[in-house]
Copies of this chain bind each other. A is one copy, B any other.
Amino acid sequence: MEELTKRVSKTLSLTGDSVAEKRAEIRHYFHHTFNLYESLFDCINDEHAYYIRAEPLRHPLIFYFGHTAVFFINKLILGKYQHARVNERLESMFAIGVDEMSWDDLNSAHYDWPSVSETRHYRQQVRDIVDKLITDMPLTLPITPDSPAWLVLMGIEHERIHLETSSVIMRMLPLHYLDAHPRWSPCTETAAAPKNTLVALEGKTITLGKPKSADTYGWDNEYGCKTVTVAPFKVAKYLVSNGEFLQFVNAKGYQQPQWWTQEGQAWLAYSHAKMPRFWLLDNGEYFQRNLLNIMPLPLDWPVEVNYLEAKAFCNWQAALQKRHVRLPSEAEWCLLRQFIDSDQPNWEQAPGNINLEYYASSCPVNRFEQQGIFDIVGNVWQWTESPIDAYPGFKVHPLYDDFSTPTFDGQHNLFKGGSWISTGNEATRFARYAFRRHFFQHAGFRYIESDSAEVPVEAVNTYETDELVAQYLEFHYGSTYFEVPNYPKACVKALLSHTPELKQGRALDLGCSVGRASFELARHFDHVDGIDFSARFIQHGFQLKETAHTRFAIPTEGELVECKEVNLTELGLTELAEKIDFFQGDACNLKARFTNYDLIFCGNLIDRLYDPLLFLKDIHQRLTAKGYLVLTSPYTWLSEYTPKEKWLGGIKVNGENVTTLDGLTKVLSEHFHLVAKQDVPFVIRETKRKFQHTVAQMSVWQLK
């Protein structure tokens, strides 16, 4: 049994010479995972335990027992490999609610859960279907993300994740519901906690992200490529042990809000926690709850805490030592990971307490050493300072489009390294899992000490979901539709065609929105200022200038969305960022410093101002001699933006029709010549099937 586990708890290679062998290997991996998962539930000795909400923020175990089977069917249906539902009621009930809820977002719905035997029967039905699919499915090597085999692997790796999460929930069940199980034997070794020390590491530039060419299954968030320069730091030799953490508990750390982040304080108020979740205090003596047993607190085992507790410990230590003590960032942890050459599935023997290769529990923190540092992988997951974010180049897997993207919200922190029960993909080098910061897994931490107070963690590049802002990101940086060229680009091209002598100098992009025209102008001008009234829009200009990336979600149909990314490098705009400054500002009340421009471009601005005349009457003062003012607009006057008495045109004046071009001519002709006008079409996507298709008029005015 041990041998089998070792082999089949390793994820598959996607390549191979023999399709038949690969098919057998997949089948084996599938059944082993199904069996292993069920063997965990075999520890439960009373069906009542399936229905207890051991962790109030999560569903009871019956949900997880059914869920991993339902997942197979749902993905196969979505992929059109399965056409009929097996059991519509169970497939609805067991589908959603996996991610833990927040304590301030409790779901108190009552569920009419099915019986264990019904669920077990359902699991068998699914097992047969997947087995048959493995036999029948077309298979070519290597397996790629659009292969049916990829979907089977997705189901398997998904179940392996829940092997771990279910084991955590079982640690919260009253122990009398659980029996010992030969497959799930804990470590029994324990001793005094070793004294932790710091090891100095050199800084290094490293690359994060799993290559597309990698030989194993990966979740979408693992792919992409990000280069990070890591400054030198010192790292704790051991994971923080129960013994080391006990000092914090004894120092009344849980009662002193100064060590806790604001979020940590809120969680303390909710949870009334006074010590780690799996500790028990009985008559002044501490114990630890493992999966299937309770033992006196093993002082040399890693402490298991959430991020908030780990962070509080670090803050306490930092204050005590007057040093910059904190958790590692994702990159710092990855630098550490480079101390191990091997990776699952290729290692012979796991380089730590991981992959179920040693124990069904933690073990002492001083057992697995690499180059003077212990437990780089395994034992318990290690919280990092980094909220999870996608790497540049990230693409959602179309059949599981909400695996990662909902966690790119700044509220889910990454942990790394895996625990004793992390198997399959979870135990690979590139695995990236992230949970809410208050969440418990078999997770602890290792601290580091840095020279700098600054935590090298970037703000998460969250998905812009404001529909209008997302529309404009797509409009400026996204796909073209109906073969209408990119509008800001076309506008800049058109205006330059009318102003041949304008080659360098200073340009102002007024009403720049999310900023594309500023970048296009920067190809030709020495300096561009981009100004927009709305911080909601211009923040993306800022972000693109700073990070070259931004993300957004646009509707496809109904409530469904598509996640997209802007990448300045792909657009060939990266080098231009330094020529641009973005500012929030009001075109009708512009600061005096915005002056001395050779060109002022106002794209779709004039019919969105609250007082266009106020804007136009002095704009000539901001131009250099013979400078240009270029306006484009579809003249869509709306009283919600511009009071009707301020409309420049589209009105009757003294009973006669006055167009906006008439109105502009009247206002501007004192200082400007109209040198050209032309139509420039644009398309704004509202849904996958619905677009605004508009023809703006560009007018080019030169100072007299």
Give A contacts to B, CB under 8 Å. 74, 77-78, 91-92, 95-96, 401-402, 482, 556-560, 634-637, 644, 647, 649-657, 659-660, 683, 686-687, 689-697
Q: If A558-B635, A649-B557, A649-B558 touch, does A655 touch B690 (CB 8 Å cutoff)?
A: no
Are B690 and A692 in contact, with the CB atoms below 8 A?
yes
Q: If A691-B694, A693-B683 touch, does A654 touch B95 (CB 8 Å cutoff)?
A: yes
Mostly, the A contact residues are: mixed
> Which A-B residue pairs are the 10 nearest by beta carbons?
A558-B650, A95-B654, A693-B693, A557-B650, A634-B689, A96-B655, A558-B637, A691-B693, A690-B694, A95-B655
Residues on B with beta carbons closer than 8 Å to the beta carbon of A650? 556-560
How far, in Å, is A484 (CB) from chain B's closest CB? 9
Residues on B with beta carbons closer than 8 Å to the beta carbon of A660? 557-558
- Bound CA span A635–B560, Å: 12
- Bound CA span A95–B656, Å: 9
**A689 in complex: contacting residue of B95, B653, B683, B694, CB < 8 Å:** B694
Are B401 and A655 in contact, with the CB atoms below 8 A?
no
Residues on B with beta carbons closer than 8 Å to the beta carbon of A557? 635, 637, 649-650, 659-660
- Bound CA span A619–B401, Å: 35
Are A559 and B656 in contact, with the CB atoms below 8 A?
no
- Bound CA span A701–B680, Å: 41
- Bound CA span A682–B559, Å: 23
Are B692 and A74 in contact, with the CB atoms below 8 A?
no
Return 22 A-B CB contacts under 8 Å, by A number: A96-B655, A402-B655, A556-B650, A557-B635, A557-B650, A557-B659, A558-B651, A559-B637, A559-B651, A560-B650, A560-B651, A560-B657, A635-B687, A635-B689, A636-B686, A636-B687, A689-B694, A689-B696, A690-B692, A690-B694, A691-B693, A693-B693
**A560 in complex: contacting residue of B558, B652, B655, CB < 8 Å:** B652
Residues on B with beta carbons closer than 8 Å to the beta carbon of A558? 635, 637, 647, 649-651, 660
Are A654 and B693 in contact, with the CB atoms below 8 A?
no
**A78 in complex: contacting residue of B95, B656, B686, B696, CB < 8 Å:** B656
Say how many copies of this protein the assembly contains: 2
- Bound CA span A96–B687, Å: 45
Most buried by B among A558, A644, A697: A558
Residues on B with beta carbons closer than 8 Å to the beta carbon of A693? 482, 683, 691-693
How far, in Å, is A80 (CB) from chain B's closest CB? 10
Residues on B with beta carbons closer than 8 Å to the beta carbon of A653? 92
> Nearest residue in B to A77 (C-beta to C-beta)?
B656
How far, in Å, is A637 (CB) from chain B's closest CB? 4
How far, in Å, is A663 (CB) from chain B's closest CB? 10
Are A74 and B654 in contact, with the CB atoms below 8 A?
yes
- Bound CA span A144–B494, Å: 38
> Nearest residue in B to A697 (C-beta to C-beta)?
B689
Are B690 and A654 in contact, with the CB atoms below 8 A?
no
> Nearest residue in B to A91 (C-beta to C-beta)?
B654
Q: If A557-B637, A558-B635 touch, does A654 touch B92 (CB 8 Å cutoff)?
A: yes
- Bound CA span A560–B686, Å: 26
Are A692 and B691 in contact, with the CB atoms below 8 A?
yes
- Bound CA span A687–B683, Å: 15
Residues on B with beta carbons closer than 8 Å to the beta carbon of A401? 657
- Bound CA span A650–B559, Å: 6
> Nearest residue in B to A93 (C-beta to C-beta)?
B654
Residues on B with beta carbons closer than 8 Å to the beta carbon of A559? 637, 644, 650-652
Are B691 and A656 in contact, with the CB atoms below 8 A?
no
How far, in Å, is A401 (CB) from chain B's closest CB? 7
Residues on B with beta carbons closer than 8 Å to the beta carbon of A647? 558
- Bound CA span A540–B236, Å: 80
How far, in Å, is A633 (CB) from chain B's closest CB? 9
How far, in Å, is A667 (CB) from chain B's closest CB? 14
Are B92 and A636 in contact, with the CB atoms below 8 A?
no
- Bound CA span A654–B652, Å: 55
How far, in Å, is A371 (CB) from chain B's closest CB? 43
Are B634 and A690 in contact, with the CB atoms below 8 A?
yes
- Bound CA span A695–B693, Å: 12
- Bound CA span A559–B652, Å: 8
Residues on B with beta carbons closer than 8 Å to the beta carbon of A482? 482, 693
- Bound CA span A135–B310, Å: 94
How far, in Å, is A566 (CB) from chain B's closest CB? 23
How far, in Å, is A623 (CB) from chain B's closest CB? 25
- Bound CA span A655–B399, Å: 11
How far, in Å, is A683 (CB) from chain B's closest CB? 7
- Bound CA span A263–B466, Å: 54
**A74 in complex: contacting residue of B74, B78, B634, B655, CB < 8 Å:** B655
Residues on B with beta carbons closer than 8 Å to the beta carbon of A649? 557-558
How far, in Å, is A191 (CB) from chain B's closest CB? 46
Residues on B with beta carbons closer than 8 Å to the beta carbon of A644? 559
**A636 in complex: contacting residue of B652, B655, B656, B689, CB < 8 Å:** B689
- Bound CA span A20–B694, Å: 48
